[in-house]
Chains A and B, each alone.
Chain A
Amino acid sequence: MRHVRGFDVARPLSIGMLMLMMLPLVFLPLASIFIFGTSNGLDKFWGALTAPEAVFALELSMATSFWATVFNVLFGLFAAYVLSRYNFWGRNALIVTISLPTAIPTAVAGFALLLLWGPYGTLGRLLAPHGIQVMFTAGAIILANIFVTFPLAFGVIKPVFDTMSRSLEEASATIGATRWQTFWHVTLPSLRGAIVSGALLTFARAVGEFGSTILVSGNLAGRTQTAPLYIFAKFNEGQIEAANAIAIVLALFSFLIFSVLFFARDWLDVD
């Protein structure tokens, strides 16, 4: 009988319940960052944000994430090309291996890097006598970022490669293009959307990386302290406001990337 009157009780009830469940889980935590961060006035907020250490942490996060993204997008492109164009023994094993880093706890990833590159690590031991120290530098943060975001760009690009019609590349070849010209003029334009969204995903994930970074960076304020580490350090020191200011920036930043990914989907896929 309910549908006769055009009113289904289950509808508002279930929507309401969904919202109610999300309130303490997602909405309230996010809201509290903004409420607390600005509760002492915008002046104080601005001051906390422009503190030299805070600015440095943000810049370091952006820079290390940027380079990790550049590497992983290029690597993802190359890996997707090889793994979707050529069939060889062990191909599937390789695909699984590339995807593995997302499943590994980030602390484990950081620890593994330490064991390899650390002063007493397998490779680090060989480099140390030459005065080369990889760990506890910005380079170490990039390495950690690369490791934990390894499969993200690859995962977005590979399906596009798989579904791409081979006849496009064959057509380009018969028209007279070299492999490189074909890749540049035909293959790459079709991958543009996948590359942009893969890069955004990688970058967003890298900026927020904490577990592996804290192990490999040494967490040295003003030298190897990224934004998430800064939040953690300031919180431990009891400087809630300083931590909160950066937290707001990071939260807004992820909103931004997420909206781009969500709303620019059409633009990313077609012209």
Chain B
Amino acid sequence: MKAKQKLLEDQERSRPASNVAQAAARVIGVSKRFGKTSVLENISFDVAEGEALVLLGASGSGKTTILRIIAGLEQPYTGKIVLHGKDVTELPARERGVGVIFQSYALFPKMTVEKNIGYGLRIRKRRRKEIRATVNELLSLVQLEEHRKKYPAQLSGGQQQRVAIARTLAYKPEVLLFDEPFGALDTQTRVHLRREIRALLRTVNVPAIFITHDQEEALELGDRVAVINVGHIEQIGTPYEIYTHPATEYVATFLGAANIMQAIVGKGYLEIGSSRIPIEKQEFPEGECVKIVFRPEDVSLSKGDFQQSGQSRISAAIVDEISFVGAYERVRLRLEQVAAEDCGVREEPFYLTTDTPERETTQQIVATRSKREATATKLKIGERVVVSLTSFTVLPFTEPKDTKSQTQG
């Protein structure tokens, strides 16, 4: 119960309350079922004018369905969609004025670039002069003037995407929806286009909702990111918030690598084995089992018991594996101490295990070190080091919705 409360509070906190009045797009309590399977449960969020919100989730999490419901291509089971103060839930797609950039771009293959861009105005029966002016303006905005007479098949993926964006901007959409916009592109183009789109969105000041399964993309593109897991929102917040203060274990692990350890709450500290690390806020009652979550880059390794200020020493550890991954070095460590009283739900007590007790009782964690750090203090496999944390997040031991099965609630 407490855990659930905290989760809700966290979501409440991360939602900017001041934006409600000026929200460009609001999704209110939307749920969706296909037959008997529920794919979305009570989804609510707002997007402010000019804001970019990223819906981040694994495939099958329901993020595409949210997008299609906003666009009017799918009907919600319950809930409302409000665009600029107008309830559009009952309106068909063509009356919503939403711009969708499909994953495949969906450019009309038998129309030239300029015909594609002018399509929205042509079917609105605008004057030819007006159409030509708007198309010219958009062609220069997306820098495709010299390709105006080409057909979509003659363009590169990135160019096609720019045509798709220009095509929706032509009729001044209420909100732009991007469905996995970079899925079909190679990594280099992807990074380049991300920046381009970000800059473009700033100039046109149209609210945008992106969906992606790529966490790096989400962090870079979004003013805010909503992490979606099996049909519900786990957390909404700025990229910094969700990365450094994940509200749930799912968010922590989905947004890059995370180490998770058990600890017991004390008065003003957390107990991990025989070591105590101080906490600023007493969020949990004494004696309760909690999880602490920390990123590999939050781990600081030192030889001997020397410890820098502002760090919390948790344990000594043995270096198991060192791998060089380009920009940084990844170290796999085996901790010597774990929680003295194992919270006792998942693993069996070590003295009952039959095979190699060390393996069962010691916990492995992963740390990353910058190149500079790695060259300054070289580590060897089998070496004993002291592990400290520069920052960490405390989560309740059980979560209302965890993807992994647990033996006890």
Where the two chains meet, the residues of A that have a C-beta atom closer than 8 Å to any C-beta of B are 165, 167-168, 170-178, 181, 185-186, 189-190, 192, 270-271
Contact = CB atoms under 8 A, between A and B. Distances in A.
A181 B102 contact: no
Nearest to A177: B123
Interface in B118-161: 119-120, 122-124, 151, 153
Given A167-B104, A178-B94, 9 more contacts: A167-B103, A167-B106, A170-B73, A174-B98, A175-B99, A178-B123, A189-B110, A190-B109, A190-B110
Nearest to B98: A174
A175 B171 contact: yes
Q: Which of A170, A175, A181, A186 has the most CB of B within 10 A?
A: A175
Nearest to B115: A185
Chain A contact surface mostly: helix
A88 B173 CA distance: 36
Interface in B50-73: 71-73
Nearest to A173: B93
B249 to A, nearest CB: 35
Contact of A168 (B96, B106, B167): B106
A196 to B, nearest CB: 14
A174 B175 CA distance: 11
A173 B92 contact: yes
Contacts of A167: 102-104, 106
27 contacts: A167-B103, A171-B100, A171-B106, A172-B119, A173-B93, A174-B72, A174-B93, A174-B94, A174-B98, A174-B99, A174-B100, A174-B168, A175-B94, A175-B99, A175-B171, A176-B94, A176-B95, A176-B123, A176-B171, A178-B94, A186-B108, A189-B108, A189-B111, A190-B110, A192-B110, A270-B153, A271-B110
Nearest to A170: B73
A174 B71 contact: yes
B123 A185 contact: yes
Given A165-B104, A167-B104, A167-B106, A175 B73 contact: no
B119 A175 contact: yes
Interface of B: 71-73, 92-100, 102-104, 106, 108-111, 119-120, 122-124, 151, 153, 167-168, 171
Contacts of B108: 168, 171-172, 185-186, 189
Contacts of B151: 271
Contact of A173 (B73, B104, B168): B73
B202 to A, nearest CB: 23
Q: Which of B103, B119, B124, B151 has the most CB of A within 10 A?
A: B119
Nearest to B122: A185
Contact of A176 (B102, B104, B109, B124): B124
A176 B97 contact: yes
A167 B109 CA distance: 12
Q: Which of B94, B98, B102, B120 has the most CB of A within 10 A?
A: B94
Contacts of A174: 71-73, 93-94, 96, 98-100, 168
Contacts of B167: 175
Q: Which of A171, A172, A177, A190 has the most CB of B within 10 A?
A: A171
B46 to A, nearest CB: 21
A73 to B, nearest CB: 19
A178 B92 CA distance: 10
Contact of B94 (A165, A177, A190): A177
Contacts of B124: 176
Contacts of A271: 110, 151
A176 B94 CA distance: 4
Contacts of B97: 176
Nearest to B96: A174
Contacts of A175: 94, 99, 119-120, 123, 167-168, 171
A173 B97 CA distance: 10
A261 B104 CA distance: 31
B59 to A, nearest CB: 17
A181 B93 CA distance: 14
Contacts of A176: 94-95, 97, 120, 123-124, 171
A90 B124 CA distance: 39
Contacts of B111: 189
Nearest to A171: B106
Nearest to B92: A173
A167 B64 CA distance: 13
Nearest to A168: B106
B81 to A, nearest CB: 13
Nearest to B72: A174
A174 B111 CA distance: 17
Contacts of B109: 168, 190
Contact of B123 (A168, A171, A181, A189): A181
B102 to A, nearest CB: 5
Contacts of B110: 189-190, 192, 271
A170 B94 contact: no
Nearest to A179: B94
B149 to A, nearest CB: 12
Q: Which of A168, A176, A270 has the most CB of B within 10 A?
A: A176
Contacts of A181: 123
Q: Which of B97, B100, B102, B123 has the most CB of A within 10 A?
A: B123
A174 B98 CA distance: 6
Contacts of A171: 100, 102, 106, 108
A271 to B, nearest CB: 6
| 8 nearest A-B residue pairs (beta carbon) | A171-B106, A189-B110, A167-B106, A173-B93, A175-B120, A174-B100, A167-B102, A177-B123
A181 B119 CA distance: 11
A116 B269 CA distance: 94
A185 B94 CA distance: 15
Given A190-B109, A271-B110, A173 B123 contact: no
